[in-house]
A and B are shown apart, each in its own frame.
Chain A
Amino acid sequence: MRPIGAGFVLLGTGISLVGTSWDVQWHIDVGPDTFFTLPHLFIYAGSAIAGIAALVVVLAVTAAQRRGETPDPRDGGVPIRVFGGAFTAPLGYLVTGLGAAAFLLYGLTDLWWHTVYGFDAVLNSPPHVALFTNISITMIGAVIIAAAARDQLWGRIAMAISVPALMTFFPITANAFQGLNLPFDTIVAATVLIVVLLLVVTRVAIGRPGAALATAAALLAMQGILWVFTPWATSAYADSVGLPMRDGMGGEPSLIPSGIPLAALLAAVAIELLLRRGPLLSGAIAGLVLGFTFVLQRSWLGYGPHATPLLLLTTTIAGALFGWLGAYLGSRFGAMVRVGEKVTA
């Protein structure tokens, strides 16, 4: 049963990710918006599927516990007593469920926002940032669920899907900082923090050499899929509803896959080689590599500011610092998801 529950959570988060990439590109390349577009349906259905799956598992675990069974922390994480013990919720499913519920709630604030401010399709409006955060929380639940089952093959496969999805999605929330006038590229810094943190989490949680490298390879594969699917879906959907592409648009690389650092594999190699010498050093080196290359990548693909030598220098330094911080947090979070095992042993 448990791989089925985890599978539906992964399916939901995957649908949200694909829908977001499609929706963003739709607004760039085609334009018109209503609530009832197919990409919006994907985004909302993704959260609904993940949320309902989480609810079903929580109810099942609660029922099992009432029958006298002891919850197994490998089934979605440490069991948490909710509402004074009325429910027993595995931590991962609890986080996924709360993220999905908050997503639907903030969908209402987004609807209100659009009635006041119009249907301006921007990434950095407050409700949009809240919605992206809530999907990220749903995805964090998926990572906890996968990490709890890391001693089984399906758990490790689930890690290789859920972690890259979160790496792709969470940095979108950094668009909230666009208005701040910082001397470095904030999107690059946030992406470095999240990618390094999650590579270290995966390596520490799974505890096997090559885990970070495999995750980075899966990230590259996910980028490839979105790179091909997003422009195809955008133009196919525009054709099917009889809308033309905007003048001069349609040939450029898609925004969401462009926001995935191509050098994540190099960063993973740095972490694999240097982790034993100290996670912080490995994170700083990985962050340095990512910071430098990602500024160039964003500028080259046309989605970031022009890579001046000064911006390259400041953002590379910021990359090393955020990579250091990511490794500090990641090594602790990675150890935390292993705690269940220690407690029950």
Chain B
Amino acid sequence: MIKRLFVVLAALLLTLATASPAMAYEPVNVVHTERVQVGPYGLTVGFSTWPLRAMQSLDFTFAPDGGLDGKSGTYFRTGPSGSHTFPVPLARHPRKRDVWGLDVFALQTQGNWKLTFAIDGSQGHGEGTLANLQVLEQPGPPLTLSWIVCSLPFLGLVAFLVIAWRRSRNLVQVA
């Protein structure tokens, strides 16, 4: 009987290994835009969700007027506390290759954010900032509650190790 069960298991494995998963990548659906003047370049910043909420991910698109041809740039984020990231190159959005962007990306904290852009192109170098980007409170239950629920497996593991440790105390000393 046991061998039959393992045959079933092997068959299941083979089915899984040869299955071709359904591929369906969501298109980027911009529901809100903001305009930023980056030196001589006009830039449209698009959001796939609006308003923004802390920890909730969305697609950002950065579309310079006239397309990406001959342009390159960097951007950095400034959080509500005033600390900011290092400038990173603007990269094309993986699901919308005609514009720059960030795919399923979340701003982690509530408050006022800034996105600062630098673009180089045929009209030279330009810099500009999208200021006052309001990020509302995070959705869902309090983060502490989520962490407590998701720490249960780890706490279970610790409890198991403590029990095993205590039960084996005398035996290990004998050994």
Contact = CB atoms under 8 A, between A and B. Distances in A.
B131 interface: no
Given A45-B13, A120-B104, A244 B23 contact: no
B103 A41 contact: no
B106 A31 contact: no
Contacts, number: 141
A339 B104 contact: no
Interface stretch (B77-85, B117-125, B152-160): B152-160
Interface stretch (A133-141, A253-261, A319-327): A133-141
Interface stretch (A111-119, A150-158, A212-220, A289-297): A111-119
A9 to B, nearest CB: 11
A32 B94 contact: yes
B175 A335 contact: yes
Interface residues of A, number: 57
B24 interface: yes
Contacts of A49: 9, 12-13
Interface residues of B, number: 53
A65 to B, nearest CB: 14
B24 A1 contact: no
A333 B169 CA distance: 11
Contacts of A102: 153, 156
B31 interface: no
B106 A118 contact: yes
Interface of A: 1, 4, 8, 11, 30-34, 36-38, 40-41, 45, 48-49, 52-53, 56, 60, 95, 99, 102, 106, 109, 113, 116-121, 126-127, 129-130, 133-134, 136-137, 140, 173, 241, 243-244, 246-248, 332-333, 335-336, 338-339, 342-343
